Amino acid sequence: MTLSQEAASTIALKALAWLVSNDELMPVFMGATGASADDLRAQAADPGFQASVLEFLTMDDAWVVSFCDTISEDYMTPMMALNALRGEAGRHWT
């Protein structure tokens, strides 16, 4: 199963909202990306930024489980959304 760009974007925005509401992970995300609160608002609709949100989320299985349980999605959904947002540029054979 693959996700459309629109569906992937929706998942990424839900992931961003989940991160923003997570007092423990949000500072880690901000530190890892160097993003400011203004950057979050300005770049939230950008597919590249959305992909970075999902890349961060998928770094830890516990984060994926917590996020997916919160929004009642399958645990594979964040990775499928990430792949959809990356498109061909994100595919490699290494």
Chain segment 43-88, per-residue pLDDT in tens: 999 999 999 999 999 999 999 999 999 999 999 999 999 999 988 6
Residue 75 maps to a domain: yes
User: How high is the pLDDT of residue 88?
Assistant: 62
Cα–Cα distance between 21 and 16 in angstroms, integer? 9
Tell me how far apart the terminal alpha carbons of the chain are, to the nearest angstrom: 23
Residue 50 maps to a domain: yes
- Residue matched to tokens 């061909």: 88
Range of the domain at 29: 5-85
Residue 94 maps to a domain: no
More confident residue, 90 or 22: 22
Count of domains observed in the chain? 1
* Residue 68 near residue 78, CB atoms below 8 Å: yes
4 contact partners, CB below 8 Å, separation of at least 6? 84
pTM of the model: 0.87
